[in-house]
Amino acid sequence: MCAPPKSIYAQNWYEYLDFPQVSPIVYNSTLGGFPNVTLLPGAAAIGQGAGFTELLSSPSDIWHTWYTSYPAQLVPLVQWDNNSQPVALGTPNFYANTLPVVSAGADQTVECASHAGTTVTLDGSGSDPDGDPLTFEWWYDGNVIATTPLASFTFPKGSHTVTLKAMDDQCGMSSDDVIITVEDTQAPVITGVGADQAVECPDNPYDYFSTPSVSDVCDPNPVLAYSDVVTPLCGNTYSVTRTWTATDDDNNMSTEDQTITLIDTQAPVITPATAVSMWPPNHEYMTFGISTMVNAVNDQCHTSLDVNDVTIHSVWSDEVEDGMGRRCHHG
């Protein structure tokens, strides 16, 4: 509520008295008193208190001031003298309330600090040229969020206009805006990606990838996706590189990689056939195929290997080549 006005709009009026007055003339704020004062539409007379008295001893030109109620604009009055003749208006005197001076501070751009946003310090100020006491209100989104020049408030991500209003006790009000911008420039964080590793065939490399998670300072629901790149190596071995990509709702991105390599360090296993008999001796060459000497071939990594993949690495004999051979003597 505003205080009673102390600096208000005033209108001087001129009264001419053409006869001596030896008894007091009493003026009061009611329109029925002397002199007869008629207000124009929109004016409201409040006078100079309940009443005042002047004693005139000779004809005089007298200035009197009648006030219009604050905060209406200056409203002219029409006056009559004691002979019911209109009197010219005097020069208006303006005793107006001066509005406060207010500043909401400089615009601010801040980094998003949480899913709720960022707590920002609102640093406003205000003064009143008339020395009137001031009250303050910070307005945001149709609500008062603080009532002191220095205040704090948590703003969500985005651009926000905040208004600081300063009011004096005459209901004079000034305002100023500040723009608070909360932005998100930080990429999401991927955690839980393990180290690269090698696994032995016949294990499946895809079974060894990590199961990471993602978090973001501002976005409560960042998206985590991955893609795989397969690189062939020797034989049936290969490596798989998985790249995880995390994206928040401002398209800030981060990536993490993990590579699993399939290796083969185990030799194939040859299952030989049973002993091949060359009996009875007949001094003739005999031909032996691989299938005669090998029953099966197995490999953990190369499952398609068979006896046809076996080659003779070397041949060894306990007999002299092109010799007579050993004879058995029977007694």
280 preceded by cis ω (within 30°)? yes
29 and 51 fall within a common domain? yes
Residue 238 maps to which CATH number?
A: 2.60.40
User: Is residue 60 one of the residues assigned to a domain?
Assistant: yes
Read off the tokens for 237.
Answer: 């071995």
Longest Cα–Cα distance of the chain, Å, equals 188
258 and 286 fall within a common domain? no
Q: pLDDT of 227-246, one tens digit each? A: 999 999 988 899 999 999 99
| Domain around 278 | 269-309
Pick the last residue of a domain from 32, 59, 94.
94
User: Is residue 329 one of the residues assigned to a domain?
Assistant: no
Q: Residue 140's closest CA among 156, 127, 129? A: 156
pLDDT score, position 169: 83
158 and 175 fall within a common domain? yes
> What average pLDDT does range 81-90 have in this prediction?
42
User: Is residue 326 one of the residues assigned to a domain?
Assistant: no
pLDDT score, position 211: 97
pLDDT score, position 327: 54
* Residue 64 confidence class, pLDDT cut points 50, 70, 90: very low
User: Is residue 328 one of the residues assigned to a domain?
Assistant: no
Read off the tokens for 64.
Answer: 């009197």
First to last CA, the chain: 143
Pick the last residue of a domain from 35, 70, 94.
94
Whole-number percent of the chain with pLDDT over 90:
46
Q: pLDDT of 170-206, one tens digit each? A: 778 899 999 999 999 999 999 999 999 999 998 999 9
> What average pLDDT does range 92-109 have in this prediction?
78
119 and 167 fall within a common domain? yes
175 and 196 fall within a common domain? no
Has residue 35 got a pLDDT over 50? no
Has residue 221 got a pLDDT over 90? yes
79 and 20 fall within a common domain? yes
pLDDT score, position 71: 33
Q: pLDDT of 49-58, one tens digit each? A: 223 233 333 3
33 and 66 fall within a common domain? yes
What is the residue type of 160?
H
Helices (H) and strands (E) in the chain, counts: 1, 25
Pick the last residue of a domain from 201, 229, 263.
263
pLDDT score, position 147: 97
Question: What is the full DSSP assignment across 236-300?
Answer: T-EEEEEEEEEE-TT--EEEEEEEEEEE--PPPEEEEPSPPP-PSP-S------HHHHEEEEE-S
pLDDT score, position 36: 36
Q: pLDDT of 137-171, one tens digit each? A: 999 999 999 999 999 999 999 999 999 999 988 77
Contacts of 291 (CB under 8 A, 6+ apart): 307
User: Is residue 327 one of the residues assigned to a domain?
Assistant: no
* Residue 115 confidence class, pLDDT cut points 50, 70, 90: very high
* Residue 323 confidence class, pLDDT cut points 50, 70, 90: low
Tell me if 150 sits within 8 A of 122, measured CB to CB: yes
User: Is residue 2 one of the residues assigned to a domain?
Assistant: no
Task: Give CA–CA dist 251/37, Å, rounded.
Answer: 74
How high is the mean pLDDT of the chain? 74
pLDDT score, position 81: 42
117 and 163 fall within a common domain? yes
What's the burial of 329, exposed, middle or buried (CB within 10 Å: 0-12/13-18/19+)? exposed
172 and 235 fall within a common domain? no
162 and 199 fall within a common domain? no
87 and 50 fall within a common domain? yes
13 and 78 fall within a common domain? yes
Tell me if 104 sits within 8 A of 179, measured CB to CB: no
Residues, the chain, total?
331
Tell me if 44 sits within 8 A of 36, measured CB to CB: no
Has residue 62 got a pLDDT over 60? no
User: Is residue 1 one of the residues assigned to a domain?
Assistant: no
* Residue 300 confidence class, pLDDT cut points 50, 70, 90: confident
Count of domains observed in the chain? 4
pLDDT score, position 236: 87
User: Is residue 105 one of the residues assigned to a domain?
Assistant: yes
